[in-house]
Amino acid sequence: MPIISSSDQKNKTLEEFYKELTGEDSSVVDKNIATAMLSFIAMIDQTFIETTLYGLTSHYRLVIQKTDSWKDDWYVTVYSIGDGKFQFEYKMPEFISPWKYATVSGQANTIEEAGDYLIIAMTESEGWQDNKELEKLYRKLKRP
């Protein structure tokens, strides 16, 4: 299943939001950010065949959620500054969090690594518990 735009942002799909940043009047930086984020969205669509993910955009960042409501937990947030790298942040589960709303952050240096980091972030945030497709992807990733 593809990642789809949250119904709270009905005016554009995720792809339309980022494609708009590639217009003639856009800066080189905006175009690079948009290109990176469009490749990230395409990677999600190729990785998750059975799982529907919901996305929100916030200041060029992509917030990935399990549910279709901006009010629900923002488990994973991804953005690129247009350099081909992806910055990740995910919410720590409460039982291991040193304080309320603690997050883990990191950087993926390639789109392939970003796919791995997405699987890790979704798993470790515990936002998609009991998701068989994610469990299978995570096990495959963790094999030596």
Domain extent at residue 116: 3-137
53 or 82: whose pLDDT is higher?
53
Within a domain: 143: no
Q: Answer yes or no: is pLDDT of 143 > 80.
A: no
For position 109, which CATH number holds?
3.90.1150
Quote the tokens at residue 116.
């791995």
Give the chain's mean pLDDT. 94
> Are 51 and 68 contacting, i.e. CB atoms less than 8 angstroms apart?
no
Average pLDDT over residues 50-79: 94
Q: Is residue 144 part of a domain?
A: no
Could you give the number of structural domains in the chain? 1
User: Would residue 78 count as lying in a domain?
Assistant: yes
Domain assignment present for 103: yes
Supply the DSSP string of 2-21, one letter for each residue.
Answer: -EEE-GGGTTS-HHHHHHHT
- Per-residue pLDDT of 24-41, as tens digits, reads 899 999 999 999 999 999
